[in-house]
Amino acid sequence: MEKKVCLECEETIRGRSDKKFCSDACRTSYHNRTNIDKPEVIKFIDYQLKRNRKILKKFYSQFSENKMEIPVKQFTHMGFAFDFYTHKEILQSNEFVFCYEYGYNKIDENKVMLIKQSPFALGVELFA
C-alpha cells in the first residue's frame, strides 16, 4: 500500500484513505497559499456568484412550499447582483438565469420565479 503524505507539510497521513492533509492547520495553510495567486477580479466574481447562489438558495427554501412570486426588491436589498450568473437556459418557453443549480426567471420587472436544477439528474423543480 502506498504511503500518503500531506500536501502541505509532507508528513505521513493517518486515517481515511482519501485524506489530503494531516491537520486542519495544514489544509488551511495550503488553501491560503494557493488562493493568494488569484487575481482580484477573479476573487470578486467568485465572491459575487457565491453570494447570489446563497441568496437564491435562501429564497428557494423559504418560499418553495408557498409557491410565491418574490419581489425583485427583496433580492437587491440582500445584495443580489443580477449581472452575475453562471449560465442561462430556456425551459418551458422561458429564459432562466442560473447561479450554479439555483435559477430565476423575471416574471416582470418586479417579480421573480425560482427554479432549482439537480446537477446529477434530469429535470427541474419549479416554484412561482
Count the neighbouring beta carbons within 10 Å of the beta carbon of residue 113. 18
Provide the pLDDT for residue 115: 87
For 27-83, what is each residue's pLDDT tens digit?
999 988 887 878 889 989 999 999 999 999 999 988 765 566 889 999 999 999 999
Mean pLDDT of all residues belonging to the chain: 87
What does the domain layout of the chain look like in residue ranges?
A: 1-37, 48-127
Residue 128 banded pLDDT, cuts 50, 70, 90: very low
Residue position matching grid coordinates 425551459: 91
- Rounded distance between C-alpha atoms, residue 101 and residue 118, angstroms: 7
* CB 26 within 8 Å of CB 9: yes
